[in-house]
């Protein structure tokens, strides 16, 4: 009888612990409770419960800790300061899969906030055990471990290097080949975060044979997996020509282009990013993209979406056009210029406008034909207004000015140049007048048109310092016309005529 | 000596004489000197001027010769330079001509072939069109698939709805709400209802053990994953006015779980199933072996003491032997009898007598 009573006390205690830890875990899911929990000293209580004899209590305590640490970096730091991590890492190796999952969750929640916290995890020796967890039988454990590794690796190159040194990359590549979509997703994003820091890290990812497996999965119907895979491929290919060629050799063209038609915005964005990262390296790679019809697909993609999703596509067009005049011509015949000028005038954000302006400048700077193609779409006045507007950012002003200059210096399409005579600032007017001075001596029809449209009059009104380049251009324009006409259109000519009338003495006597 | 004496005798006069003569000349002396200087200066001036004139004449001659020499030299040089530049201009013009031809030829042949470029651009635009078309088709296909899936989902939902609302079907006597007698044709829903099979009653959920539910809860990390009880009956309702039964009693009856007959409730191979379940759980749970044992199983360790009757040396006859002939030769088969309990008539009627469904009897 008495023995039973004694044992009942123990049973009650165990029940109470279970209940406490479950309630804390539940409460920790709501952000508004967290401060109260912290003030109540939950951290030290949970720490002791992590060492509990009952596995479920341990697991639940770890879960509660993870949720707390997930909330903000102060709590994550508190977890680190309480010396909980070594304990977790120690038991991560030995306990069952539920505990492993919960412990990996805590590590992930701590490591995601800052490089220092991630470094603290690495210092505890967690990487080796996490890598061992990647070999676990249970996909849930693998996923949790891959996720934790991803959050550690994403901060900087040193942490990524530490993850690579722990031997995570081959196991992550194996994880990609697992049937579970969630695991694939996390493993792909972990590889992406590892590869993004430096060429060497990207090279280790490539050496582990990740690219072929990633490339195979581009056609997967799951949108989230697709966008992680595309991001991983673009992070690999962004570093150097060799890596980009490796990615291209995995035969991602023209399969990638189907992703540009996807419903999901992120998939579109990452697909354009991938194409951009490949095209930016060399003219040959750009040519390859053009030959695969990538430019047309990207242009269609730009047309079908809004905002930031457009940005990589716009930049890709700029990179392709910058490489050579033939590639720029290919962009033009793919009807890229109207799309870009639509972006330029429609997009509300400055950085996208700046990218579009830059791309237009790259397209128009090669030959008069290119410049004409840009000028015909009426992009120049828009660029000018962006340059003149006080609301545009500094970067946008600089980019649009450069684009205007690049295009104007090649442009011989006079109807597009004419409006610039009236509302361009002197530093741009110089180039406009320069273009007129180059074209007019050789084109009689244009000379006539220039007079009738009032251009000559406007040129006479320009105030130029004697001896400057502008004055020289004006003189060479004036030399194309008879002196009477020039004088007739000079400002103040009528006054002088009237004065002559006044001073004239009639010869009647 | 005589001379000396004479001179000495005359010395006083000589002195006087010298003085006298000097004083006579003195007034003319300055004048003569001035005149001499004048004459000399004039003469010397003439002499020097003549000499300078002579020198100038000579210098002019020298300069004339020297300058002419320099001038000729300069001229020679200028002519040479002019000739050289003329020739260089000519050569350059010729070189430009040659280069122009060569460059044009080379660029056309190796670098920039206009026709080739045109061809290339044409091919590119064709590829672009093809790709655009292919992508369009691809997107269309995707959309179609999605539409189909959506359609199927809708269909399923509608079917389910029809099964759920099957009671609205019209009977021979009473038309249902979708089969208005004032209309010519029944509503399409009516036909749907006719086709649908009515929903069966929901089975009561098998209550799971605590341990499995906890692992389930851990496996999914959503907020609402704690084990919860089923929907609770509403509390706090006011007693209705009138001759009604107590509300708790009514609710108890309303939420009464299904009471199957004993025969239905207990499967015949329960023991086997339970063992299976236990083994499965063991395998599923593989937690560490030195688990904290619950105290409720404390008395397991107690030693079993058999009852006095069983421990007698006249052991009771085994159950099966009660029904079988003692002579094994008379047995039809040598397998043991299996114990199957017949159902009790009374128990199978239990519960049916109280409910309305009892009218089936």
B317: left (phi over 0), alpha (psi -120 to 50) or beta: beta
**pLDDT tens track for B44-82:** 999 999 999 999 999 999 999 999 999 999 999 999 999
Whose structure tokens read 């600089």?
A: A398
Residues of B in contact with A101 (CB under 8 A): 218
CB contact under 8 A, B121 and A334: no
Q: Is A286 on the interface with B (CB under 8 A)?
A: no
> Å from B124 to nearest chain A CA?
6
User: In the structure, what pLDDT confidence band is assigned to residue B213 with cuts at 50, 70 and 90?
Assistant: very low
Average pLDDT, rounded, for chain A: 89
CA B295 to chain centre: 54
- Find all residues with CB under 8 Å of B350, minimum gap 6, and list them: B259, B261, B262
Residue A137 has pLDDT above 90, yes or no: no
- Chain centroid to Cα B11, Å, comes to 148
* ipTM exceeds 0.90: no
Residue B269, CA atoms < 13 Å, CB-side half-sphere: 5
- Can you tell me the distance from the alpha carbon of A37 to that of A42, in angstroms, rounded to the nearest whole number? 6
Instruction: Give the pLDDT mean for A474-480.
Output: 88
For B124, which residue in chain A has the nearest alpha carbon?
A291
Q: What is the DSSP string of B196-210?
A: SPPPPPPPPPPPPPH
Nearest chain A residue (CA) to B134? A258
Give the Å distances, CA to CA, from A171 to A94, A146, A148, A161, A325.
Answer: 20, 9, 14, 15, 45
B204 vs A145, residue with greater confidence:
A145
Q: Report how many Cβ contacts below 8 Å link chain A to chain B.
A: 83
C-beta atoms of B298 and A7 within 8 A: yes
Q: What is the per-residue pLDDT for B115?
A: 85
> Does the pLDDT value for residue A469 go beyond 90?
no
What's the rounded Cα separation, in Å, for the pair A337 and A340? 5
**Maximum separation of any 2 CA atoms in chain B, in Å:** 231
Alpha helices in B177-244 (DSSP H): 188-195, 210-219
- Which residues belong to CATH 1.25.10.10 in chain A? 251-411
The gap from C-alpha A8 to its chain's centroid, in whole angstroms, comes to 63
Rounded to whole angstroms, how far apart are CA atoms A272 and A311? Answer: 9
State the alpha helices, DSSP H only, in chain B. Answer: 2-106, 114-164, 188-195, 210-219, 247-254, 262-265, 270-284, 345-348
CB contact under 8 A, B129 and A296: yes
Q: Which CATH number fits domain A251-411: 3.40.50.1000, 1.10.10.10, 1.25.10.10, 3.50.50.60?
A: 1.25.10.10
A-chain residue closest to B293, CA distance: A54
Residues in A touching B111 (Cβ below 8 Å)? none
What pLDDT is attached to residue B249? 82
Tell me: the pLDDT tens digits for A271-322?
999 999 999 999 999 999 999 989 999 999 999 988 899 999 999 999 999 9
B124/A291 CB distance under 8 A: yes
Q: Which residue of B132, B148, B227 to mutate against A (max A Cβ within 10 Å)? A: B132
Nearest CA among A415, A414, A416, A454 for reference residue A438: A414
Q: Which residues of A53-79 are buried (b: 16+ CB within 10 A; e: fewer)?
A: ebbbbbbbbbbbbbbbbbbeeebbbbb
For residue B215, what is the nearest residue in chain A, using CA coordinates?
A98
Higher pLDDT, residue B200 or A225: A225
Distance CA B25, CA B48 (A): 34
Lowest mean pLDDT among A87-101, A391-405, B23-37: A87-101
Q: Does the beta-carbon distance from B292 to A14 stay under 8 Å? A: yes
What lies within 8 Å, CB to CB, of A132 at 6+ separation is: A93
Task: For residue A19, report the phi and psi dihedrals to the nearest 5 degrees.
Answer: -65, -40
Residues 41-70 of A with CB under 8 A from B: 53-56, 59-60, 63
SS3 letters across B291-335: CCCCHHHHHHHCCCCCCCCCCCCCCCCCCHHHCCCCCHHHCCCCC
Average pLDDT over residues B141-165: 92
Q: What is the pTM of this model?
A: 0.68
Which residue in the set B128, B219, B296 is minimally distant from A293, CB to CB?
A: B128
The whole-chain average pLDDT of chain B stands at 79
| pLDDT value of residue A74 | 85
Asked whether the beta carbons of residue B131 and residue A297 sit closer than 8 angstroms, the reply is yes
Dihedral in degrees, nearest 10, Cα atoms B123, B126, B130, B135: 100
A303 touching chain B per CB within 8 A: no
Establish if A291 touches chain B: CB-CB under 8 angstroms.
Answer: yes
Q: Is the dihedral of CA A378, A383, A388, A390 positive or negative?
A: positive
pLDDT of residue B346: 64
């Amino acid at each position: 009888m008495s023995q039973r009573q004694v044992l009942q006390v123990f049973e009650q205690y165990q029940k109470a612990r279970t209940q406490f830890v479950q309630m804390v875990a539940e409460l920790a899911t709501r952000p508004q409770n967290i401060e109260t929990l912290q003030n109540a000293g939950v951290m030290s209580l949970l720490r002791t419960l992590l060492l509990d004899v009952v596995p479920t209590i341990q697991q639940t305590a770890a879960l509660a800790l993870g949720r707390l640490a997930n909330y903000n970096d102060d709590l994550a730091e508190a977890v680190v300061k309480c010396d909980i991590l070594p304990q977790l890492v120690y038991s991560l190796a030995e306990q069952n899969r539920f505990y492993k999952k919960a412990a990996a969750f805590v590590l992930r929640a701590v490591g995601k906030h800052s490089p220092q916290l991630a470094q603290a995890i690495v210092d505890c020796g967690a990487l080796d055990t996490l890598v061992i967890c990647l070999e676990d039988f249970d996909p849930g454990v693998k996923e949790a471990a891959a996720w934790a590794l991803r959050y550690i690796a994403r901060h900087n190159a040193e942490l990524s290097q530490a993850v690579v040194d722990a031997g995570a990359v081959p196991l992550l590549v194996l994880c990609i080949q697992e049937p579970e979509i969630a695991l694939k997703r996390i493993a792909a994003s972990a590889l992406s975060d590892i590869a993004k820091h430096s060429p060497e890290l990207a090279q280790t990812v490539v050496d582990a044979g990740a690219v072929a497996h990633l490339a195979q999965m581009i056609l997967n119907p799951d949108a989230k997996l697709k966008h992680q895979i595309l991001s991983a491929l673009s992070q690999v290919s962004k570093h150097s020509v060799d890596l980009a060629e490796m990615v291209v050799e995995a035969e991602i063209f023209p399969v990638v282009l189907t992703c540009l038609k996807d419903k999901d915005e992120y998939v579109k964005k990452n697909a354009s990013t991938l194409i951009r990262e490949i095209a930016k390296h060399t003219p040959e790679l750009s040519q390859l993209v053009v030959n695969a019809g990538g430019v047309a697909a990207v242009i269609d993609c730009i047309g079908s979406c809004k905002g930031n999703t457009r940005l990589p596509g716009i930049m890709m067009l700029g990179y392709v056009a910058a490489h050579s005049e033939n590639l720029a011509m290919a962009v033009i015949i793919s009807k890229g210029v109207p799309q870009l000028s639509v972006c330029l005038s429609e997009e509300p954000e400055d950085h996208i406008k700046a990218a579009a302006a830059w791309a237009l400048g790259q397209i128009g700077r090669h030959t008069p034909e290119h410049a004409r193609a840009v000028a015909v779409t009426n992009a120049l006045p828009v660029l000018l207004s962006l340059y003149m507007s006080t609301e545009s950012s500094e970067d946008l002003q600089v980019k649009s000015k450069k684009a205007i200059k690049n295009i104007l210096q090649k442009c011989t399409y006079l109807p597009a140049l004419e409006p610039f005579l009236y509302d361009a600032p002197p530093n741009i007017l110089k180039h406009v007048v320069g273009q007129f001075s180059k074209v007019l001596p050789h084109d009689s029809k244009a000379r006539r048109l220039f007079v009738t449209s009032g251009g000559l009059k406007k040129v006479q009104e320009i105030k130029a310092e004697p001896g400057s380049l502008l004055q020289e251009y004006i003189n060479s324009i004036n030399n194309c016309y008879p002196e009477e006409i020039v004088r007739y259109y000079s400002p103040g000519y009528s006054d002088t005529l009237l004065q002559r009338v006044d001073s004239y003495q009639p010869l009647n006597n | 000596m005589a001379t000396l004496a004479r001179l000495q005798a005359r010395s006083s006069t000589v002195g006087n004489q010298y003085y006298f003569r000097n004083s006579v000349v003195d007034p003319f002396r300055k004048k003569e000197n001035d005149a001499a200087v004048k004459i000399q200066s004039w003469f010397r001036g003439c002499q020097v001027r003549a000499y300078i004139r002579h020198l100038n004449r000579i210098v002019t001659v020298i300069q004339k010769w020297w300058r002419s020499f320099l001038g000729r030299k300069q001229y020679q040089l200028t002519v040479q330079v002019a000739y050289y530049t003329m020739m260089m201009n000519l050569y350059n013009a010729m070189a430009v001509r040659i280069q122009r031809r060569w460059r044009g030829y080379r660029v056309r042949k190796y670098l920039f072939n206009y026709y080739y470029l045109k061809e290339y651009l044409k091919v590119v635009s064709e590829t672009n069109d093809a790709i655009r078309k292919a992508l369009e088709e691809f997107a269309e296909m995707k959309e179609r698939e999605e539409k189909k899936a959506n359609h199927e989902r809708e269909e399923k939902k509608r079917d389910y709805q029809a099964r759920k609302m099957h009671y609205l079907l019209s009977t021979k006597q009473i038309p249902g709400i979708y089969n208005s007698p004032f209309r010519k044709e029944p509503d399409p829903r009516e036909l749907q209802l006719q086709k649908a099979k009515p929903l069966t009653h929901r089975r009561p959920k098998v209550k799971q053990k605590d341990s499995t539910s906890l692992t389930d809860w851990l496996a999914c990390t959503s907020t609402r994953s704690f084990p919860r009880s089923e929907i609770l009956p509403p509390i706090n309702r006011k007693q209705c006015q009138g001759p009604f039964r107590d509300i708790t009693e009514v609710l108890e009856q309303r939420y009464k779980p299904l009471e199957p007959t004993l025969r239905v409730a207990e499967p015949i191979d329960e023991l086997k199933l339970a063992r299976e379940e236990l083994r499965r759980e063991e395998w599923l749970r593989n937690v560490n072996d030195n688990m904290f044992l619950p105290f409720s199983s404390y008395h397991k360790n107690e030693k079993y003491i058999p009852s006095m009757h069983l421990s007698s040396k006249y052991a009771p006859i085994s159950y099966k032997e009660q029904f079988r002939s003692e002579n094994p030769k008379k047995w039809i088969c040598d397998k043991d009898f299996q114990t199957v309990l017949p159902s009790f008539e009374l128990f199978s009627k239990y519960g049916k007598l109280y409910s309305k469904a009892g009218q089936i009897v």
